[in-house]
């Protein structure tokens, strides 16, 4: 957008907002942005170039995309993932109600110490399935595991309780992560809240902070950016004070760095470019002190993941060139399949922003090869595939049409 185009666009947004009787704060909250960002849009300072942000703004104003931006591609019906069958439906039922209500009515001691090894192994497998986005298998495994763990924490002798609470916390954290990726943010909120409580009962304070990280992801997906920022900032401040006053372990650094990356995501979603970049730099400083890629609390924090998140942040801010520059020479092969696929997906988004549609499709197909369930269910992936289809129209290639069908990107 030129300066004049931004001014005209901003005036139109302001007029439409006033017609609906909304304040800047009310509209900003409805679309998951800050009032300062919306003010800059209306004054012609902040450009709005991305199709997904334009669509979000149009929805908040209650108008079609073409009313807001006449030259925008004609939109197909929006997909409604929440109404579709979901691989985590069984896991969602696990969160419904009390997880071990029978034990409350008939207290008993039916815990067998011999089951501990089995519970440890299953919990490890839960995270393997989460990192590889095998949601159907994850849901099937969680169905019997969560009630087993919840009953065990209530019936086991005291000597086993701390570890059982920690295994339960880790399981709920995995569930929260999976729910976020399948756009089930309300369930992710519940799972993360339970993870925080179980981590506290286990006596593992850093597990509480890791749970807050999962909770903030749920808030971001729900577009409750104020809650996400509040929870994450409180955690960062408390952990930073501890690190300043004590000899910090690598685990402390991993969690602190991950929380800075979460703040970067929150600010990027709010369109706060300067604040997002500051948090990326803070995460880089922590990663430099750490000096290696680690997977403490399944956060996968380290120098490589910071750069992956920097790519993602740049894409969120619409800075596609910066994202591609950061990604050049970046090797994510030692990280999980989920992290590798996320990088490829974000590179596809960056190329789409640059109108490099062939490159965008190639990166999305590579991501699908690594983690098909992630690409088939992730909102960002479906959005960019839908955008590619809308731009290509009847000229869409067979490969793109097939990908759109597999992801149901057009609804």
- Asked whether the predicted pLDDT for residue 33 surpasses 80, the reply is no
Q: What's the CA gap between 308 and 340, in Å, rounded?
A: 9
- What mean pLDDT do residues 287-305 have? 95
Q: What's the CA gap between 55 and 78, in Å, rounded?
A: 10
Task: List pLDDT tens digits, range 186-232.
Answer: 999 999 999 999 999 999 999 999 999 999 999 999 989 999 999 99
Q: What's the CA gap between 147 and 384, in Å, rounded?
A: 39
Highest mean pLDDT of the ranges 28-37, 49-58, 137-146? 137-146
- Asked whether the predicted pLDDT for residue 320 surpasses 80, the reply is yes
Is the pTM above the cut of 0.85? no
Task: List pLDDT tens digits, range 267-295.
Answer: 999 888 999 999 999 999 999 999 999 99
Instruction: Please state, for a pLDDT cut of 90, what percent of the chain lies above it.
Output: 55
Question: pLDDT category, 254, cuts 50, 70, 90?
Answer: very high
- Asked whether the predicted pLDDT for residue 50 surpasses 80, the reply is no
pLDDT score of 108 = 66
CB 259 within 8 A of CB 235: yes
**Angle at Cα 184 formed by Cα 180 and Cα 190, nearest 5°?**
85
Task: List pLDDT tens digits, range 68-84.
Answer: 877 766 544 444 444 34
* CB half-sphere exposure, 138, CA atoms < 13 A: 29
CB 328 within 8 A of CB 336: no
Higher-confidence residue: 201 or 98? 201
Q: What's the CA gap between 387 and 76, in Å, rounded?
A: 10
- What mean pLDDT do residues 27-33 have? 76
CB 108 within 8 A of CB 102: no
Highest mean pLDDT of the ranges 47-51, 103-107, 313-317? 313-317
- Asked whether the predicted pLDDT for residue 87 surpasses 70, the reply is no
Cβ neighbour number for residue 224 with a 10 Å cutoff: 18
Tokens found for residue 166 = 């920690």
């Amino acid at each position: 957008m030129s300066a004049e185009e931004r001014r005209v666009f901003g005036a139109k947004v302001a007029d439409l907002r006033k017609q609906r009787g909304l304040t800047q704060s009310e509209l900003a909250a409805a679309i998951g942005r800050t009032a300062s960002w919306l003010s800059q849009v209306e004054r012609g300072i902040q450009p709005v170039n991305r199709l997904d942000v334009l669509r979000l703004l149009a929805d908040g104003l209650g108008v079609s995309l073409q009313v807001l931006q006449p030259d925008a591609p004609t939109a197909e019906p929006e997909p409604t993932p929440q109404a579709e069958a979901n691989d985590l439906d069984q896991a969602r039922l696990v969160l419904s109600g009390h997880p071990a209500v029978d034990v409350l009515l008939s207290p008993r001691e039916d815990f067998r110490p011999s089951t501990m090894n089995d519970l440890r192994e299953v919990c490890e497998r839960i995270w393997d399935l989460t990192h590889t986005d095998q949601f159907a298998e994850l849901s099937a495994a969680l169905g019997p595991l969560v009630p087993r763990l919840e009953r065990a924490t209530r019936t086991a002798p005291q000597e086993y309780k701390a570890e059982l609470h920690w295994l339960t916390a880790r399981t709920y954290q995995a569930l929260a992560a999976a729910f976020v990726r399948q756009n089930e943010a309300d369930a992710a909120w519940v799972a993360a809240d339970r993870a925080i409580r179980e981590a506290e009962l286990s006596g593992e304070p850093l597990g509480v902070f890791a749970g807050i990280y999962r909770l903030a992801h749920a808030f971001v997906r729900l577009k409750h950016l104020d809650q996400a920022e509040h929870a994450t900032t409180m955690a960062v401040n408390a952990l930073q004070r501890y690190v300043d006053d004590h000899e910090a372990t690598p685990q402390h650094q991993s969690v602190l760095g991950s929380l800075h990356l979460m703040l970067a995501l929150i600010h990027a979603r709010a369109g706060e470019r300067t604040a997002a970049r500051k948090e990326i730099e803070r995460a880089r400083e922590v990663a430099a002190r750490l000096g290696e890629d680690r997977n403490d609390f399944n956060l996968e924090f380290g120098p490589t993941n910071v750069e992956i998140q920097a790519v993602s942040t740049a894409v969120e801010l619409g800075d596609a060139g910066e994202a591609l520059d950061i990604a050049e020479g970046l090797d994510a092969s030692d990280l999980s399949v989920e992290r590798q696929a996320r990088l490829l997906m974000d590179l596809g988004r960056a190329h789409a922003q640059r109108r490099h549609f062939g490159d965008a499709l190639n990166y999305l197909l590579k991501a699908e090869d690594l983690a098909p369930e992630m690409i088939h269910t992730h909102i960002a992936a479906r959005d960019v595939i839908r955008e590619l289809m809308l731009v290509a129209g009847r000229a869409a290639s067979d490969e793109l049409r097939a990908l759109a069908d597999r992801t149901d990107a057009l609804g």
